[in-house]
A and B are shown apart, each in its own frame.
Chain A
Amino acid sequence: MNETGLVTKQSIIDKARAEGRTELTEVESKEFLKKAWISVIDTRLATSREKAISVSRKLGFPVALKITSPDIVHKSDAGGVKLGLKRASQVEKAYDDVIQTISQRYPQARLHGVAVQKMARPGVEVIIGMSKDAQFGPVLMFGLGGIMVEVLKDVSFRIGPLAKRDAAEMVREIKGYPLLKGYRGQEAVDVSYLEDMLLRVSDFVGQNPEVKELDLNPVFAYSDGALVVDARVILEEGK
Chain B
Amino acid sequence: MTGSQPLERLFRPSSIAIVGASNYTQKGGGFLLNGLVTNGFKGTLYPVNPRESEILGLRSYSTVTDIPGKIDLAIIAVSARLVPQVLSECGQKGIRFAVVHSAGFAEVGTQGEALEKEMLDIAQHSGIRFVGPNCMGLCCTEVGLNTIRPSSRLLDGSGCVAFLGQSGWVSENFIGMGNDRGLRFSKVVSVGNQADLSIEDFLEYLGADAQTRVIGCYIEGVKQGRKFMQLVRQISPTKPIIVWKAGRTEAGIRAASSHTASLAGNSNIFDVALSQSGAVIAHNLEDLIDLAIGFTCPVLPDGNRLGVVVEAGGGGVATADTHEALGLEMPVLSKASQKELTNILDDSVVALPNLLNPVDIVWPLNWATGWATLKCLRVVLKEVDAALAIDYAPLNERLAVKIAALRDETGKPIIIIPGDSIEQKRGMSRLVRKGVPSFSIPERGLKVLAAMVRYANGRRYS
A residues near B (Cβ < 8 Å) are 23, 127, 129-137, 139, 141, 143, 149, 153, 155, 157-159, 165-166, 212-215, 217, 232, 234
Contact with A along B267-310 (1 / 0, CB 8 A): 10110110010000000000000000000000000000000000
B254 touches A157 (CB 8 A): no
Interchain Cβ contacts under 8 Å between A and B, 18 examples = A23-B257, A127-B260, A129-B260, A131-B253, A131-B254, A134-B251, A134-B252, A135-B225, A135-B269, A135-B270, A136-B270, A139-B269, A141-B263, A158-B272, A159-B269, A165-B461, A213-B257, A234-B257
Q: Does B261 contact A (CB under 8 A)?
A: yes
Give, as a whole number of angstroms, the nearest-CB distance from A103 to chain B.
25
Find chain A residues with CB under 8 A from B270 CB. 135-136
Give, as a whole number of angstroms, the nearest-CB distance from A206 to chain B.
13
Give, as a whole number of angstroms, the nearest-CB distance from B265 to chain A.
8
Q: Does B110 contact A (CB under 8 A)?
A: no
Give B213-253 interface residues, CB cut-off 8 Å to A: 221-222, 225-226, 229, 249-253
A159 touches B253 (CB 8 A): no
Give, as a whole number of angstroms, the nearest-CB distance from A239 to chain B.
17
Q: Which residue of A lies closest to B223 (CB)?
A: A135
Q: Does B335 contact A (CB under 8 A)?
A: no
B249 touches A135 (CB 8 A): yes
Q: Does B258 contact A (CB under 8 A)?
A: yes
- Within 8 Å by CB of B254, from A134, A159, A165, lies A134
- Within 8 Å by CB of B273, from A129, A136, A165, A232, lies A136
Rounded to whole angstroms, the CA-CA distance of A155 and B222 in the bound complex is 25
Give, as a whole number of angstroms, the nearest-CB distance from B332 to chain A.
27
Count of A-B residue pairs with CB < 8 Å: 91
Q: Does B266 contact A (CB under 8 A)?
A: yes
A136 touches B256 (CB 8 A): no
Give B335-378 interface residues, CB cut-off 8 Å to A: none
Give, as a whole number of angstroms, the nearest-CB distance from A12 to chain B.
18
Given contacts A135-B225, A137-B225, A137-B226, contact A217 B272 (CB under 8 A): no
Given contacts A23-B257, A213-B256, A217-B259, contact A133 B264 (CB under 8 A): yes
Please name the 8 residue pairs, one residue from A and one from B, whose CB atoms are nearest each other, closest first: A129-B260, A135-B225, A131-B261, A134-B251, A213-B258, A136-B225, A157-B272, A215-B258
Give, as a whole number of angstroms, the nearest-CB distance from A23 to chain B.
7
A157 touches B258 (CB 8 A): no
> Interface size bucket, B side?
20 to 34
Q: Which residue of B lies closest to A73 (CB)?
A: B257
Rounded to whole angstroms, the CA-CA distance of A131 and B252 in the bound complex is 11
Given contacts A139-B264, A141-B264, A157-B272, contact A232 B251 (CB under 8 A): no
B256 touches A153 (CB 8 A): no
In the complex, given contacts A133-B269, A158-B276, what are 11 additional A-B residue pairs having Cβ atoms less than 8 angstroms apart?
Answer: A129-B258, A133-B264, A134-B251, A134-B253, A136-B225, A139-B253, A149-B263, A212-B254, A213-B256, A213-B258, A234-B257
Q: Which residue of A lies closest to B261 (CB)?
A: A131
Rounded to whole angstroms, the CA-CA distance of A132 and B253 in the bound complex is 6
Rounded to whole angstroms, the CA-CA distance of A133 and B253 in the bound complex is 5
Rounded to whole angstroms, the CA-CA distance of A23 and B258 in the bound complex is 10
Give, as a whole number of angstroms, the nearest-CB distance from A152 to chain B.
11
Given contacts A133-B249, A135-B270, A136-B273, contact A159 B229 (CB under 8 A): yes
A157 touches B264 (CB 8 A): yes
Find chain A residues with CB under 8 A from B264 CB. 131, 133, 139, 141, 157
B259 touches A129 (CB 8 A): yes
Find chain B residues with CB under 8 A from A23 CB. 257
User: Interface centre among B257, B267, B461, by most A CB within 10 Å?
Assistant: B257
- Within 8 Å by CB of A133, from B252, B276, B461, lies B252
Given contacts A134-B250, A135-B270, A158-B272, contact A213 B229 (CB under 8 A): no
